[in-house]
Amino acid sequence: MTDYKNFTVDADKDGIALVTWDMPDRSMNVFTEEVMNELEAIIDHVATTEAIKGAVFTSGKETFSGGADLGMLQKMLGLFEKEKNKDRKKAIKLLFDNAGRMGWLWRKLETCGKPWVSAINGTCMGGAFELSLACHGRVVADSPAVKMALPEVKVGIFPGAGGTQRVPRLANTQEALQMLTTGQTLSPQKAKAMGLVHQVVPPKKLVEAAKKMILDGLKPVQPWDEKGFKLPGGPVYSAAGANLWPPAIAILRRETYGNYPAATAILKCVYEGLLVPFETALTIEQRYFTEIMQTTEAKMMIRSLFISLQELNKGARRPQDVPMRKFKKIGVLGAGFMGAGIAFVTAKAGIPVVLVDRDVPAAEKGKAHSASLMDGLIKKGRATPEDKEKLLSLITPSDDYAALDGCELVIEAVFEDSEVKKGVTEKAEAVLKPSATFASNTSTIPITSLARNSKRPKNFIGIHFFSPVDKMMLVEIILGKKTEDKALATAMDYVRAIKKTPIVVNDTRGFYVNRCVLRYMQEAFSMVIEGVPAPMIENAAKMAGMPVGPLALTDETAVDLAQKIMKQTIRDLGPKAVDPRHMELIDTLVDKYGRLGRKNGKGFYDYPERPAKKHLWAGLKDLYPQKKPEKVDVEELKQRLLATIALEAARVMEEGIVTDPREADVGSILAFGFAPYTGGALSYIDGMGVKEFLAMTKQLQKKYGKQFKAPALLHDMAEKGETFYQRFAPETGAKERKAA
């Protein structure tokens, strides 16, 4: 039998071939060109070997497969970009052919004349799930570790290897559309209930059950290839179809505002594909996939949310010459909401943590937050009581700083006051070893100034979490002027250990994320003052692709916090640093009306008791003369809200606060949801083109003020025809940071 690098093929006495996928040089199986070539050879071997009655496909790793390797997508897009300027038709044909390779290989498998069963033992994503759907039988291990999804829409593309055609031929059309357009992750039970898998069995009996399906006479023909096949959700042109398709189109429009071409293409693929024979449907899917791969949205989302995100999660910016650190003990100072959240994610990563507060009851209250979060996970079926007990055993509440002895990293998350932070820093350093790293979770105070409280500023760093800590995936790592590579490496190793995404930021007021967020809120304040109806502001933000309107976001972070930040900014930088109109608006809300935000049930919104929903405060319209809605340009509102953030991101790059465009883009999406379809705040500019962006902001500056004045960097880039990813070509490690 032929030897394969990535697979083993073993036939048993019953003539069933067990095809085990186990890539020797990867922690997770992924599709590469080599894997595809070997798999095609295996399909041919199974089909032509008389002694083989059928095949079971499984993984030799804990996970099944993560889907396609990013290198395949990069190569596909790279070939297209290279050829399109020479011969666009030829380039599109090349892209079309490459886009169809996987889909037609899976078709070859399901029509080869022998039964195939996929035995899914772990995470099964993208093309791997599409391969499983092409198999004639699917058996799944009954384990919380098993997750199945077609998540491509989340990176700007869609399942292009038959996913849009097989899912709605196996499942109810409505459920199929929801799964495909959201990238929904399925548990074994959910997948079975939808009709996407046949059996859910104990993990140890997985392969045995898969083989039994073949021995019991599994037909080597898919349902849609048999005469008389009926769609589970009924025909498109039927009463059921008439009740489904118009609302489905409207719901997608409501959820995406037309910003995600791939989601729209999914609807078209399913609708058109269900009207024609299966192979014609695959061609339709291939055509739309080729079209979507050429969009700016796909290019930017693949780069930021697939490639850059993976690179950052793997430690692209970590100093390479510092040994990796595994943590045996971590300290958290302050058991309030943030500190308690940090303790939770640390313990969830299996790391023992000491949670220190002013007294034991306060520290115990912080530990109770972890218990409450675990109770929520248990209720949702995502954790067990044993998991809760194990996690809580890793958290030691204390009021004694001596308990920090032996900690390799201590994270301070006390009240946002320099003097309070000074006191806890000194107490902690009296106990810690000289080699330990001290981190502050401050969101506003410059790290360099806080490091003056430390006897070893080279080991002092900022680790800025976002609220709520357990849900927010981004962490800003802030470098003080004296922070050394060892502290940076320690911080990055910790952030990666708790499975969050780190970005590295040089020290400045507000760091990176908060600078951008404040611009977003401030532009909304200007709109309120101009008399733009508040509902139009919030709706324009959502239409632009933001998950939360700027007024709602101000409420979430607290209106009185915005007031404190403004007052502190005036004290530090002078009265010209804050727009006096903004100060007056916020003072009116806080001081005159006592509207502090969600925390006291009233801010820009009113927050009635459930089940009533929050709604914009009716009194807002009485603060300033209101414009008539028909006189407001909604497209301009969208431009203002996105451009003000993008300009701030460009200023941050110009100042050397962020030095890697990957971090600026990924950070803007993960921290505050900057219109993901753009690929992030800098990709928004790159995707539009710097010259076009400058023309737009010049018009906005004329009408609305200096906040839209573009930095010199953008003018220089426009003159040279550069993008951010050309100007600031991403590198790795300490070399780039020191050169910045």
Here the tokens at position 375 are 């109770």
Confidence at residue 732, expressed as pLDDT on a 0 to 100 scale: 43
- Interior/surface letters 192-219, b for 16+ CB within 10 angstroms, e for the rest: bebebbbbbbeeeebbebbbbbbeeebe
Shared domain for 83 and 107, answered yes or no, is yes
Other beta carbons less than 10 A from residue 417's beta carbon? 11
Peptide bond into 202 cis (omega under 30): no
Does residue 306 sit within a domain? no
Q: Is the separation of the CB atoms in 535 and 346 below 8 Å? A: no
Instruction: Confirm whether 429 is domain-assigned.
Output: yes
Please write the tens of the pLDDT for every residue from 33-65: 999 999 999 999 999 999 999 999 999 999 999
Compute the average pLDDT of residues 93-112.
Answer: 93
Domain residue limits at 619: 514-727
Identify whether residues 457 and 338 lie together within a single domain.
yes
Whole-angstrom distance, CA of residue 142 vs CA of residue 139: 9
What's phi and psi for 358, nearest 5 deg?
A: -65, -30
- Same-domain pairing of 522 and 465: no
Please tell me whether residues 354 and 288 are part of one structural domain. no
pLDDT digits (tens, 9 = 90+) for 521-576: 999 999 999 999 999 999 999 999 999 999 999 999 899 989 988 998 898 889 98
Identify the domain boundary among 510, 536, 552: 510
* Rounded Cα distance, 595 and 584, in Å: 14
How high is the pLDDT of residue 696? 98
Together in a domain, 505 and 564:
no
Domain with residue 37: its CATH number is: 3.90.226.10
- φ, ψ at 461 (rounded to 5°): -150, 160
Q: Do 76 and 258 meet the contact criterion of CB atoms below 8 Å apart?
A: no
Q: How confident is the model at residue 731 (pLDDT cuts 50, 70, 90)?
A: low
**Burial grade of 32 (CB within 10 A; 0-12, 13-18, 19 or more):** middle
Residues assigned a catalytic role: 443, 464, 476, 514
> Are 534 and 422 in the same domain?
no
Give percent of the chain with pLDDT exceeding 90.
85
pLDDT of amino acid 191? 96
Cα separation, 685 vs 642, in Å, equals 10
23 pLDDT above the threshold of 70: yes
Q: Give CA separation, 559 vs 316, 445, 565, 583, in Å.
A: 37, 19, 10, 11
Beta carbons of 511 and 474 less than 8 angstroms apart: no
Share of the chain above pLDDT 70, in %: 98
Lowest-confidence segment of 397-406, 408-417, 484-493, 708-717 by average pLDDT: 408-417
70-101 tens-digit pLDDT: 777 778 888 888 888 888 889 899 889 988 99
In a domain, 336, yes or no: yes
Number of structural domains (the chain) is 3
- CATH number at 651 reads 1.10.1040.50
- Secondary structure class of 33 (helix, strand, coil): helix
pLDDT in tens, 630-673: 999 999 999 999 999 999 999 999 999 999 999 999 999 999 99
Per-residue pLDDT tens over the stretch 180-191: 999 999 999 999
Residue 457 contacts residue 480 (beta carbons within 8 Å): yes
Last residue of some domain: 488, 510, 532? 510
Which pLDDT tens digit goes with each residue over 459-474? 999 999 998 999 999 9
Q: Tens digit of pLDDT for each residue in 571-619?
A: 888 998 899 999 999 999 999 999 999 989 999 999 998 888 999 999 9
Q: Could you tell me if 117 and 54 lie in one domain?
A: yes
**Is residue 315 in some structural domain?**
no
pLDDT of residue 733: 42
Q: What is the pLDDT of residue 740?
A: 32
